[in-house]
Amino acid sequence: MIKHDPCQKIHQGWHLDKRISLAHFFATFAFATAIVSYQYAQSERITLVEQQASKHEAVSSLEFAGIGARLKAVQERDVAFKVEIIRRLERIEDGIDRHIETTLNHTREN
């Protein structure tokens, strides 16, 4: 509250009331407490999100390593299967070649 000292001229003697009302004090305290509480809640939320992100990253890397190992095993099995198929085809081809030779020799003899 602004008061004027009647003994002074119109432009001098003004004083501010230095009293603080109890309502103003409690309102300021409540506002400050709300700001601190909000910042703490945000900090906790950020910490939780960071923990979940690091956990997700760890789980994802483990899953990726497992998938990589399974893929490698499938590729090795696939290579072995292809080698076996090639070996069998070569045996069939050798059998056909022998059959052709035998047939040609038999037809020449007759």
pLDDT in tens, 11-49: 655 566 667 788 999 999 999 999 999 999 999 999 999
Q: Average pLDDT, stretch 88-93?
A: 95
- Position 99 scores a pLDDT of 93
- State the average pLDDT for the chain: 86
What letters, b where the CB count within 10 A reaches 16 and e where it falls short, cover 68-91?
A: eeeeeeeeeeeeeeeeeeeeeeee
- Position 10 scores a pLDDT of 61
20-25-29 Cα angle (round to 5):
155
Residue pair 18/6 in contact by the 8 Å Cβ criterion: no
* Bridge partners (DSSP) listed for residue 4: 14
Confidence of residue 59 (pLDDT cuts 50, 70, 90): confident
